[in-house]
Structure 1
């Protein structure tokens, strides 16, 4: 049985939380010098993007505050252009997009759970 919409939302939340946790106190230079870290963040972004694509339209349209399209687009670029990942762009996304979208996804999950259960 495929994951439920709530499970896709939880995957997004979990990966955003992972990125937040492991990017705390990390500089751009450290990010570049530890390939395992950048690869882990890329993997998390791929999971987030894929999960975004699987969240039903109804939920996405009701929660336009979350950057569904941005994360899905990032996933596509990471999957199809893996040889040319722009580390600076990835770092900027981690620094600017992850925290606010983590807050939004927490609220979305809370609202969706309230509506469904």
Structure 2
């Protein structure tokens, strides 16, 4: 695997781990997320990183298959350019539904 792609995959994995760490000492509940502005902004920043890394991977090698890769890039763009229309519900949905799947896929790709 290309060294740049491998580096970006590790960036994604590290961003996922950081998001998970925000909930290490409390329940992973939407209400907890929504009530904590710092956590919300930190999660959004890490999703930006994931989306940017994903964009670079797609541009470098379009044959790499990662579930919802385009949607993650689109979410990154929404956070950056449409910051006033970012939905807590959408971000939370990514955290609880998509990031666990993404983690497994990235770990699998890094093992290849």
- If the length of structure 1 is used for normalisation, what is the TM-score? 0.82
- The change in CA–CA distance for 1:56 and 1:96 in structure 2 (over 3 A counts) is closer
2:80 alignment counterpart = 79
Q: How much does 1:99 deviate? A: 0.5
- The change in CA–CA distance for 1:59 and 1:23 in structure 2 (over 3 A counts) is farther
1:114 alignment counterpart = none
**Aligned counterparts of 1:58 and 1:47: Cα–Cα separation in 2:** 17
- Give every structure 1 segment of 4 or more consecutive aligned residues whose post-TM-superposition deviation is greater than 3 Å: 56-60
The CA RMSD measured in Å over matched residues stands at 1.8
**Aligned counterparts of 1:110 and 1:55: Cα–Cα separation in 2:** 17
**Aligned counterparts of 1:83 and 1:27: Cα–Cα separation in 2:** 23
Q: How much does 1:56 deviate? A: 5.0
- If the length of structure 2 is used for normalisation, what is the TM-score? 0.85
Specify every segment of 5 or more residues in structure 2 that has no aligned partner in the other structure, as ranges. Answer: none
Q: How much does 1:21 deviate? A: 2.9
Q: Which has the higher contact order (CA 8 A, sep 6+)?
A: 1
1:44 alignment counterpart = 46
| Partners of 2:5 and 2:60 within 8 A in 1 | no
CA offsets 1:59-108 (integer angstroms, 9 cap, x no match)? 4423x243211211110111111112100111111110011110110111
Q: Give the 5 Å matches for 1:52-91.
A: 52-57=54-59, 59-62=61-64, 64-91=65-92
**Aligned counterparts of 2:16 and 2:61: Cα–Cα separation in 1:** 18
The total of aligned residue pairs comes to 108
